[in-house]
Amino acid sequence: MQEPTLLLLTALADEPRHGYALMQQVAEISHGRVRLRTGTLYGALERLQREGMVRVEREEVVDGRARKVYALAEPGVTALAEETERLRAVAAEARRRLALRPRPRGATA
C-alpha cells in the first residue's frame, strides 16, 4: 500500500470526512510531509471507491456547492488494520534489533 493511500484510509478511520477535511488530515497526520492536491485526492477517492474500501456516506450543500462526505467501508477497515499490523511488526522488530546493538564505549544509559 502506497503512503498516500495509507494516509487517506487513516484520515477516515475515526469518522467520515469531506474532501478538503481529508486533505488537511493527511497533511496533519504526515506532519506536512504529504500534501494531496485536489485532482490527486479526487482520483484516489474514486479508485478507493471502485475497490470498495471507501464509500460515500452522504452529500451536503455548503455555500451553494455540493460536496460528498466519505467514510471507510468494511474492506477499507480490514486493509487498514492489516497494513497497521504489518507496520507495527516491522517497527517492533526494528526496536528489538536496535536494542541488541552494542553501545558505544563510554555511553551511559
**Beta-bridge partners for 87:** none
- Helix 74-100, helix 3-13: angle, nearest 10: 110
Min dist CB 92 to another protein, Å, is 21
- 43-61 burial, b at 16+ Cβ within 10 Å, e below that, comes to ebbeebbeeebbbebeeee
Instruction: Pick out residues in 8-37 that bind another protein (CB under 8 A).
Output: 8, 19-20, 23, 36-37
Instruction: Pick out residues in 67-86 that bind another protein (CB under 8 A).
Output: 67-68
Binding piece for another protein, criterion CB under 8 A, among 9-17, 66-74, 80-88, 98-106: 66-74
Query: How many positions of this chain bind another protein (CB under 8 A)?
Result: 28
**Edge-to-edge order in the sheet of strand 65-72:** 17-18, 65-72, 54-62
- 104: cell is 558505544
The position carrying cell 471502485 is 50
Our CB check for another protein shows the closer of 13 and 69 to be: 69
Min dist CB 101 to another protein, Å, is 25
Which residues form the interface with another protein (CB under 8 A)? Answer: 2-5, 8, 19-20, 23, 36-44, 46-47, 50, 56, 62-68
